[in-house]
Amino acid sequence: MSNRYFIIDSSDPNLDTILGYSVEDLTSVRRREDDTKYVIKLRNGDTNNYPELALYVEYNINQILLTMNDADWQFDLNILIGS
């Protein structure tokens, strides 16, 4: 089973709840340079349909890496791919 990724608005009122689903916390989550968006990686094997994520696009690893392939994103590729 592959990991699931979402790009979340940093101003989302449910951010704390969404971070609870993530394998990372706000100190280690991948973020845009301007801090307006975060990449949330769900726990491996998590297939739940969380209502807080209903408005966001779900990505797999290949899609999220393509999306983040620009200078506006800060990330360490090894951390993002790691489980």
The domain segmentation of the chain, as residue ranges, is 5-70
| Burial zone of 64 (CB within 10 Å; 0-12 exposed, 13-18 middle, 19+ buried) | buried
- CA-based nearest residue to 11, from 28, 27, 35: 35
* Residue 83, pLDDT score: 47
Name residues whose C-beta falls within 8 Å of residue 31's C-beta, 6 or more positions apart in sequence: 10, 37, 38, 39, 73, 74
pLDDT along the chain (83 residues), means of 10: 88 93 80 88 89 95 88 61 52
Q: Are 18 and 58 in contact (CB under 8 A)?
A: no
